[in-house]
A and B are shown apart, each in its own frame.
Chain A
Amino acid sequence: MNDTANEKFVIKELYVSHAPHLHAPISISKIMWNVVIALIPALLGAIYYFGLRALILTLIAVVSAIGFEAFTQKLFSRKITILDGSAVITGILIAYNLPPGVPWWIPIVGSAFAIIIVKQLFGGLGYNFINPALAARAFLVASWPQIMTTKWLAPRSGYLAGFDAITQATPLSLAKHSQDLNTIKILNSWPVIKNLFLGNCGGCIGETSALLLLIGGIYLLARGYINYRIPLAYILTVLILSILLPTKFSPLFHLFSGGLMLGAFFMATDYVTSPVTPKGQWIFGVGCGILTMLIRLWGGYPEGVSYSILLMNVATPLIERYTKPKVFGYKRTKKQ
Chain B
Amino acid sequence: MLNFFFKRNDFLGGVKVREYKELSEHKPLTKAPIPKRVLRPYIQHNLVRIKPTIEVGATVKVGTKIGDPEGRISVPMHASISGKVTKLEDIEHPVLPARAPTCIIESDGVDLWEDYIKERDYSNLSKEELLETIRDAGIVGLGGAAFPTHIKLSPPKDKVIDTVIINGCECEPFITCDHQLMLEKSEEIIEGARIIAKILSVNKVIFAIEDNKPDAIDKMKKALGNSNCYIVAKLKTKYPQGAEKQLIKTLLNRTVPQGGLPFDVGVVVQNVGTTFAIYEACRYRKPLIERVVTVTGNGVKEPKNLWVRIGTPVYEIIEFCGGYTDEPGKLILGGPMTGVAQYTDDIPVLKGTSGIVVFKKSELKKLGSELSPEYDCIRCARCIMACPMQLQPTLLNSYIKKRDFLSAKQNNVLDCIECGCCAYVCPARIKLVHAFVHAKREIKRLNL
Task: Give me 21 A-to-B residue pairs in the complex whose CB atoms sit less than 8 angstroms apart, sorted by A's number.
Answer: A4-B313, A9-B323, A11-B324, A11-B328, A12-B346, A13-B343, A14-B328, A14-B342, A14-B344, A17-B370, A19-B338, A22-B336, A24-B17, A31-B380, A123-B376, A276-B394, A277-B384, A327-B390, A329-B257, A329-B259, A333-B259
* Residues A73-127 near B (CB distance < 8 A): 123-127
Chain B residue nearest in CB terms to A9:
B315
Contacts A31-B380, A276-B394: A2 and B346 contacting too (C-beta < 8 A)? yes
| Complex contact A28–B375 (CB within 8 A) | yes
Q: Mark A297-336, 1 if CB is under 8 A from B, else 0.
A: 0000000000000000000000000001111111111001
| Complex contact B378–A12 (CB within 8 A) | no
User: Is A248 on the interface with B (CB-CB < 8 A)?
Assistant: no
From B50-58, B274-282, B426-434, give the one contacting chain A: B426-434
User: Is B420 on the interface with A (CB-CB < 8 A)?
Assistant: yes
Contacts A227-B381, A329-B258: A23 and B368 contacting too (C-beta < 8 A)? yes
| Complex contact B330–A27 (CB within 8 A) | no
Chain A residue nearest in CB terms to B382:
A26
Contacts A1-B344, A328-B390, A332-B260: A22 and B369 contacting too (C-beta < 8 A)? yes
| Complex contact A22–B367 (CB within 8 A) | yes
User: Is B155 on the interface with A (CB-CB < 8 A)?
Assistant: no
Contacts A26-B427, A31-B380: A14 and B420 contacting too (C-beta < 8 A)? no
In the complex, chain A residues whose CB is within 8 Å of the CB of B83: none
A83 vs B357: C-alpha distance in the bound complex, in angstroms?
34
A7–chain B nearest beta-carbon distance, Å: 8
Contacts A15-B329, A22-B367: A329 and B418 contacting too (C-beta < 8 A)? no
A12 vs B338: C-alpha distance in the bound complex, in angstroms?
22
User: Is B289 on the interface with A (CB-CB < 8 A)?
Assistant: no
User: Is A272 on the interface with B (CB-CB < 8 A)?
Assistant: yes
Counting chain B CB atoms within 10 Å of each CB, the highest count among A19, A21, A22 belongs to A21
Q: How many residues of A contact B (CB 8 A)?
A: 52
Chain B residue nearest in CB terms to A280:
B381
A17 vs B369: C-alpha distance in the bound complex, in angstroms?
8
Q: Which 7 A-B pairs have the closest CB atoms?
A: A23-B368, A20-B420, A332-B257, A18-B434, A126-B376, A276-B381, A329-B258
| Complex contact A329–B256 (CB within 8 A) | yes
User: Is A246 on the interface with B (CB-CB < 8 A)?
Assistant: no
A7 vs B346: C-alpha distance in the bound complex, in angstroms?
10
In the complex, chain B residues whose CB is within 8 Å of the CB of A7: 315
User: Is A244 on the interface with B (CB-CB < 8 A)?
Assistant: no
Q: How many residues of B contact A (CB 8 A)?
A: 82
| Complex contact A11–B344 (CB within 8 A) | yes
In the complex, chain A residues whose CB is within 8 Å of the CB of B385: 227, 278
A to B contact number (C-beta, < 8 Å): 204
A79–chain B nearest beta-carbon distance, Å: 9
| Complex contact B390–A325 (CB within 8 A) | yes
Q: Mark B411-448, 1 if CB is under 8 A from A, else 0.
A: 11001001010011101110101100100000000000
| Complex contact A10–B315 (CB within 8 A) | yes
A276 vs B377: C-alpha distance in the bound complex, in angstroms?
11
User: Is B379 on the interface with A (CB-CB < 8 A)?
Assistant: yes
Counting chain B CB atoms within 10 Å of each CB, the highest count among A12, A22, A23, A275 belongs to A22
B323–chain A nearest beta-carbon distance, Å: 7
Chain A residue nearest in CB terms to B319:
A9
In the complex, chain A residues whose CB is within 8 Å of the CB of B319: 9
A274 vs B225: C-alpha distance in the bound complex, in angstroms?
54
| Complex contact A2–B433 (CB within 8 A) | no
In the complex, chain A residues whose CB is within 8 Å of the CB of B91: 1-2
In the complex, chain B residues whose CB is within 8 Å of the CB of A330: 258
A127 vs B376: C-alpha distance in the bound complex, in angstroms?
9
User: Is A185 on the interface with B (CB-CB < 8 A)?
Assistant: no
| Complex contact A14–B329 (CB within 8 A) | yes
User: Is A16 on the interface with B (CB-CB < 8 A)?
Assistant: yes
| Complex contact B341–A14 (CB within 8 A) | yes
| Complex contact A21–B367 (CB within 8 A) | yes
Contacts A4-B346, A17-B371, A19-B337: A329 and B427 contacting too (C-beta < 8 A)? no
In the complex, chain A residues whose CB is within 8 Å of the CB of B423: 20, 23
Chain A residue nearest in CB terms to B367:
A22
| Complex contact A328–B427 (CB within 8 A) | no
User: Is B311 on the interface with A (CB-CB < 8 A)?
Assistant: no
A271 vs B329: C-alpha distance in the bound complex, in angstroms?
34
Given contacts A25-B368, A27-B429, A324-B411, 7 further A-B pairs with CB under 8 A are A1-B344, A2-B104, A21-B369, A31-B378, A124-B376, A275-B381, A328-B415
In the complex, chain A residues whose CB is within 8 Å of the CB of B332: 19, 21
User: Is A30 on the interface with B (CB-CB < 8 A)?
Assistant: yes
In the complex, chain A residues whose CB is within 8 Å of the CB of B112: none
